[in-house]
Chain A
């Protein structure tokens, strides 16, 4: 019987550092494509970020073996997977379950409500987080679905499977 995505992502123990680094290597090419496409499709995002285009955001999906490092500088976009023990010093950190973070990006969930319920945790520069949230919220459509579309039927299937694995 193969491991479910859930058990895979929650793997812990001595193998974790290796798993984290391996996972980062696997997802990095995808992240590069995703962030470039989003920047191309939604250039107005950057204006709402204002002075925080150079801020280092660490987005921490708690069940995944790695975190995500975003620096939304339109001149030098950076979006990479990093093992937690190698994450950069963050200007702001956003922490929550993977599917919640995905739904916040797509405005399928409300960030304030997730904060009130304590499902979402924010530390560091609060203004940076507010700007990022407002910038993403002004995007029409679903960034998750746009991303899935980039990879055709396989991408759509993975997104559907993720949504089944992480019901909200």
Chain B
């Protein structure tokens, strides 16, 4: 059986402590800049905060993974290099990277460091994954959320590194690391600036009939009826009208979250080494609830017991959940 490490999100030092206390094997986090894909206002860590957080986690047997999982624009790599140097100095346990240049810099400058390949690299074939392993010494790949469990099992046989899969949270199936929808409307890049639907461009409007519209950069991307559950203001989850669909329809994806709680034994059996919980932008309440639930589930499975998993639907986007492609490619 694989170790089935639980990899948990932390958007603030308090969230990191919450995750560690709730049973995280490792916590992933980022600096307050464009070097990570959750570069949201008021979120993330200063170097001093990260230093104290690494000490806190290590004293309790948990690891800290530093997300440097955005792509430096040409000629602007210094920010990513400095972040890598700082992370190495502070003793983070691994770097989560997407860009080959960042991976190469860390492999050369900090040769003892462990590299994980971010989902933002969108490496979904054995050939792509092996390339990163052979050239940069990547030790673990975070797989895109587009593969079935049988496909994961087959990939595992053909790659020399560990596999990490998302098990809960955001269910974004755009080709990860390649989505330019936010950039198209706002001029800011999810992949290079680390912002998907930047809050500064988001506006919610309440209407007299109780409905609420969400706008990004002045474009309406959804309007929720008074009794409807809402989703994030992301273009990929938007509901649009068109001449042939005047009632409005989800052109890309629906507001819905991934929840693989019932597939954990199958994932372990397929050779998955680590389970990732999405949500660095979420609150301590979310971190506490989701991490403790999955901690108990993984411990139950390791002990040979049936996992009794609490209902987490109240924490899901649109209050809907799916097993997505992990269950079947026909999930939509």
Q: Which of B43, B227, B315 is A113 in contact with, Cβ under 8 Å?
A: B315
> Is A108 part of the contact surface with B, judged by Cβ < 8 Å?
yes
Cβ contact within 8 Å between B319 and A108: no
Knowing A107-B284, A121-B212, the reply to whether A137 touches B15 (Cβ < 8 A) is yes
At the interface, is chain A mostly helix, strand, loop or mixed? helix
> B229: which A residues are within 8 A, CB to CB?
116-118
Considering only CB atoms, which chain B residue lies closest to A141 in the complex? B14
Q: In this complex, which of B41, B286, B289, B316 has the most chain A Cβ atoms within 10 angstroms of its Cβ? A: B41
Interface residues of A (CB under 8 A from B): 48-50, 104, 107-113, 115-118, 121-123, 126-127, 129-135, 137-140
- B interface residues with partner A (beta carbon < 8 Å): 11-15, 17, 40-43, 198-200, 202-206, 212, 224, 226-232, 255, 281-286, 289, 314-319
Complex contact A118–B212 (CB within 8 A): yes
Q: Are B11 and A137 in contact (CB under 8 A)?
A: yes
Determine the chain B residues whose CB is within 8 A of the CB of A134 once the complex forms: 11-12, 40-43
CB closest residue in chain B, given A111: B283
**Distance between A59 CB and nearest chain B CB, rounded to angstroms:** 16
Cβ–Cβ < 8 Å partners of B14 in chain A: 107, 137-140
Task: Report Cα–Cα, A39/B220, bound state, in Å.
Answer: 38
A121 to B198, CA, bound (A): 18
Partner of B42, one of A111, A116, A133: A133
**Using Cβ atoms and an 8 Å threshold, which residues of chain A touch B41?**
50, 127, 130-131, 134
**Contact across chains for A112 and B17 when beta carbons are under 8 A apart:** no
Q: A108 and B285: CB pair below 8 A?
A: yes
Whether B230 contacts A115 by the Cβ 8 Å rule is: yes
Cα-based distance from A133 to B283 in the complex (angstroms)? 8
